[in-house]
Amino acid sequence: MSAIVDPSGPSLVSIPSNPVPEGARVGYFITSDRVRLRYALWPRGEGKPRGTICLVQGRTEFIEKYFETIADFRRRGFAVATFDWRGQGGSDRLIGNRKLGHVDRFEDYWTDLRCFHGDILLPDCPGPFYLVGHSMGGLASLLAGVRDRLMFDRIFLSAPMLSLDGQPLSMAGMARVTAALNFLGLGRLPVGRKADKPASETSFPDNPLTGDMVRYMRMVDVVRARPDLEIASPTIGWAAAAMAAMAEVARDDFPARVQSPLLMLAAARDSVVSPAAIERLGLRLRTGRHMVVAGARHELFMESEPIRAQVLAAFDAFITEQSA
């Protein structure tokens, strides 16, 4: 069953420090398994038409967090299409506790992206299509590129969640443990992580996400304006799904399965996901590579101006190769 568009009710939060870029079209679409997701489209801005960026977020994130980056892409001649994953942002929550991030299977994110591609991108957006994914969205993007390498011409990943450092077992071992807990009926209980603390003025000095206070506080202000966008800790069920997906990427045969042109950026000071895992995969790819951004924390698109300039320069060079 194909997705259908539900135009009733969606909106984007606009505040003085984070206004909605002009030209937004906002809506809901319904996935093939009947989950309602909020999406937004922007036409290209300046310059020669260059296709469409499909921008997918990390865990806990929402469309409003990327307004600045959306404007950056539009200035380069791209249209931009984005949506909130199931279980977060302005999309349907999957369990009763709206503050917990939950998904039953990591493959459900593939359902979200596949339906968005088929029912929103293809009919409503100009090609070619480029996939840009951050963190959890980076992992989902990588797996999407393996499942269907023809969906997107190129894939650009910001600090993709390929592994988590500091775990007592490998990702495969953690997948088995969390799957067992899920099987025992504990899947909807929260898993606490330091990185999942609510953001505020007092949490900025020790935050693992960005060294830029203005961009950090901008997101605090968005959540204060619309608290229902926020989620906090993931559930054990989400952890089981994510660990299984990361274990798949860690398999010896995985690099050979990646056939899409791919660039992964690792943040050198990342304490949320493993930069070493990004480097290991990058060194083994046949159609892709990686780059380490010195001095950067996890959220590369939300970092300071010098770091963002490096990220966007890497993006520009990678996409330009398309016509080289």
Is the distance from CB of 273 to CB of 298 less than 8 angstroms? yes
- Alpha carbon distances (Å) from 61 to 15, 228, 277: 17, 12, 22
pLDDT at 322: 64
Residues 132 and 156: their CA atoms lie apart, in Å, by 5
pLDDT at 19 > cutoff 50 = yes
Give yes or no for residue 100 having a pLDDT over 90. yes
Give DSSP secondary structure letters for 289-318: EEEEETT--S-GGGS-HHHHHHHHHHHHHH
How does residue 200 score in pLDDT terms, banded at 50, 70 and 90? confident
The pLDDT, as a whole number, for residue 26 is: 97
Inform me whether the pLDDT recorded for 198 exceeds 90: no
Domain count, the chain: 1
Bridge partners, 38 (sequence order):
28
Amino acid identity of residue 305, one-letter, is E
Which CATH number do you get for residue 254?
3.40.50.1820
Which segment of 3-12, 115-124, 134-143, 213-222 scores lowest on mean pLDDT? 3-12
DSSP 119: I
What's residue 184's pLDDT? 97
**Of all helices (H) and strands (E), which one includes residue 146?**
helix 136-147
Which residues, 6+ apart, have CB-to-CB distance to 196 below 8 Å?
60, 232, 233, 234
Alpha-carbon distance of 17 to 27, in angstroms, equals: 23
Alpha-helical runs (H) found in 166-264: 171-181, 213-225, 236-249, 254-257
Query: What DSSP state is assigned to residue 9?
Result: S
Q: How far apart are CA 130 and CA 110, in angstroms?
A: 16
Contact partners, residue 91, CB within 8 Å, separation at least 6: 35, 36, 37, 38, 83, 84, 85
Query: Structure tokens of 12?
Result: 């984007």
Report d(CA 225, CA 243) in Å as an integer.
33
| Over residues 30-59, mean pLDDT | 95
Nearest to 159 by CA among 15, 57, 38, 87: 57
| Conformation bin of residue 179: beta by default, left when phi > 0, alpha when psi is -120 to 50 | alpha
- pLDDT at res. 197: 66
Burial readout 127-140 (b: 16 or more C-beta within 10 A, e: otherwise): eebbbbbbbbbbbb
Instruction: State which residues form the domain around 301.
Output: 4-323
Which structure tokens are listed for 55?
């921008």
Rounded mean pLDDT of 63-75?
97
Question: What are 263's strand-pairing partners?
Answer: 156, 289
- Model confidence, pTM: 0.95
